[in-house]
Amino acid sequence: MKINKFLDTLIIGAGFAGMYCLHKQISDGFIAEIYEQGGDVGGTWYWNRYPGARCDIESMDYSYSFSEELQQEWNWKEKYGTQPELLNYAKHVCEKFNLRQKINFNKKIIKAVFNKKTEKWIVSSDDNIHIECKYFILATGNLSTPNTPNISGINNFEGSIYHTGAWPKEMPKFEERTVGVIGTGSSGVQSIPIISETAKNVLVFQRTPNFSLPARHTKLPEDKRDNYKKNYTMYRTLAKNSSFGIAKYQPPTQSAFDVNEDERNKIYQKAWEEGGQAMLFSFTDLLTDKRANDTAAEFVRNKIRDIVSDKDVADKLCPFDHPIGTKRLCLDSNYFQTYNKQNVSLIDISKNPISEITKNGLLTNNTEYKFDDLVFATGFDAMTGAVNAIDIINDNEVSLKSKWADGPKTYLGIMVSEFPNLFMITGPQSPGVKSQMILSIEQHVDFIHGLILHNKNNNFRQVYAKSKNQDEWVNHNNDVAHSTLYPLAHSWYNGDNIIGKKRNFMPYVGGVANYKKLCDEIIKNDYEGFEFT
Ligand code: N01
């Protein structure tokens, strides 16, 4: 095989993880490059261009902290960053740190094999470029492999089909058109109100209702932004010491039953008015005690009943199948209000699932629905999808995919035993998706970079996770998850949304502060659990 390029480090993905990782690597003199299947930087924010796409974490938090100059010079305009604003931010970072010339765009990596003799990875793209590298880093994202359900007849549909997670660059026009939307997770909840502003009619096909809280989105007032900037050190420190990685969400101190019902509802009401995820941080036991959780869930269901004028529709929109917060909470701008509009219909497909897509719409068990365009807001093969899409083979000719057949197993969500010099940024069993992502990304990249420097400075050739420590970490991850209500939900956290995927609770829910403390201890103990050869 002809090798086209020799690198110290190959990183897949030019989202926030890949870019920061590349910056660290080249700053320390490594010959490093990114391979990215998209046409520009941005990752999630490159692909998710659907109407209404914006972050569910406030911009002043959801941003890099590694460069004081960057965090002072960038002026967020909105409380929650819109997709275009986040994409511009990613491009700004790319230019500021001179990353672009080290990024290979429109390149899809499909295979990586560890060569026993050279102790290097040979990484191959779908257009037959082969790159040899010592360190191979997956910055492939957790929600980057769109899931389009395999419904028969899909090719017969005569209108346009869109997926929220792979939205076209040019915004489709829905004027005078009836649009069918399948899916009511975060992507559906954000896009349905905006699509309904221009479409003639919107038919929403809902299999399971979701909890959604008001985002209370606004323009970001300049004085608030300036105050945050002045005190960034304090806010970033508070964030690092919290469970979710957001300064204002500090651990609650009282149980839902330490107060009476009136008081409890006042606290929920305050959080509802504040917007965002505040409600989940009201009491210590909302995610561990079903009775406590029920009090918050019922509060939100009552809000839905108040907002939606048609009682039948309101009932269909009220979730009962999972404790609130055990699926990623949606944040919305007028989602439930949208069902009061004449041009929006909710179709409950929980009992009559979609049986076929036809040329003019779709069929459920008992009815035909007609529409001009179809939007899949059906989510992602989360956390493992993008990793398993690459055929990664170790020196014993074992594939990572086969190792993960019963679910992912990692040490800290960073390395997999028997796969030397292969790293994941915010991989399964890390707090990544259960935190402010960029904070976790920075912490992971710093940790991985430390491992690589340790390997290099000591003239080691390989670093890998020890199986014993990996097993212990996987068990710990499960123990923590099962001490909460999370496993009760049918969710992408558990892999439930992908047919045939083995059920495993994948994120680490012990909190970012605890996780970082653990990682720091591991470093202090000479990278305990890692083997260097
Ligand atoms: O995907 P989802 P998403 N027939 O998996 C339905 C992040 N995100 O793209 O619940 C009918 O949550 C499915 O129904 P059910 C965020 O972390 C963040 O919305 O399986 N319906 C569900 O309603 C989020 O959690 C932001 O019964 C089918 C929906 O499709 C994650 O991405 C914005 C179906 C999928 O919901 C994923 O969100 C957007 C079928 N065959 C996303 N298959 C922000 O930052 C699936 N569904 C704000």
Residue nearest to atom 46 of ligand 1 (CA): 378
Establish whether residue 378 lines the binding site of ligand 1, counting it when its CB lies within 6 angstroms of any ligand atom. yes
> How far is 470 from 212, CA to CA, in rounded Å?
36
Token representation of residue 261: 């019902």
Most informative mutation of 49, 58, 186, 347 for ligand 1 (most atoms within 8 A of CB):
186
pLDDT of residue 82: 97
The average pLDDT across 362-384 equals: 96
Most informative mutation of 87, 207, 354 for ligand 1 (most atoms within 8 A of CB):
207
- Smallest Cα–Cα separation from 16: which of 383, 435, 437, 434? 437
Enclosing H/E stretch for 363: strand 361-364
pLDDT of residue 493: 98
CA of 196 to the centre of ligand 1 (A): 19
CATH number of 5-145+381-461: 3.50.50.60
The average pLDDT across 139-156 equals: 97
pLDDT of residue 303: 98
Q: What angle do CA 90, 96, 102 make, to 5 degrees?
A: 80
Helix/strand/coil percentages in the chain, nearest 5: 35, 20, 45
The average pLDDT across 503-529 equals: 97
- Smallest Cα–Cα separation from 444: which of 335, 519, 394, 347? 519
CA distance to 190, 319, 388, 420, per residue, from 110 (Å): 32, 40, 10, 18
Identify each DSSP E strand in 372-445 by its residue range. Answer: 373-376, 391-393, 422-424
Residues 235-281 have pLDDT tens digits of: 999 999 999 999 999 999 999 999 999 999 999 999 999 999 999 99
**What percentage of the chain carries pLDDT values higher than 90?**
99
Establish whether residue 435 lines the binding site of ligand 1, counting it when its CB lies within 6 angstroms of any ligand atom. no
Pairing of strands 130-138, 120-125: antiparallel
Most informative mutation of 56, 369, 378, 381 for ligand 1 (most atoms within 8 A of CB):
378
The average pLDDT across 448-460 equals: 97
DSSP code string of 459-489: T-S-EEE-HHHHHHHHHHHHHHHHTSSGGGS
Residues 84-142 have pLDDT tens digits of: 999 999 999 999 999 999 999 999 999 999 999 999 999 999 999 999 999 999 999 99
Checking if the pLDDT of 78 tops 90, the result is yes
Residues 313-335 have pLDDT tens digits of: 999 999 999 999 999 999 999 99
**φ, ψ dihedrals at 282, nearest 5°:** -75, -40
**What percentage of the chain carries pLDDT values higher than 70?**
100
The domain limits of the chain are 5-145+381-461
> How far is 131 from 139, CA to CA, in rounded Å?
17
Establish whether residue 432 lines the binding site of ligand 1, counting it when its CB lies within 6 angstroms of any ligand atom. no
Spatial contact of 269 and 279, defined as CB atoms under 8 Å apart = no
Reported as a pLDDT band with limits 50, 70 and 90, residue 375 is very high
Handedness of CA 282, 284, 285, 286 (dihedral sign): positive
Mean per-residue pLDDT of the chain: 97
pLDDT of residue 366: 80
**Placement of tokens 């003019």 in the chain:** 360
Establish whether residue 354 lines the binding site of ligand 1, counting it when its CB lies within 6 angstroms of any ligand atom. yes
Checking if the pLDDT of 286 tops 90, the result is yes
Reported as a pLDDT band with limits 50, 70 and 90, residue 365 is confident
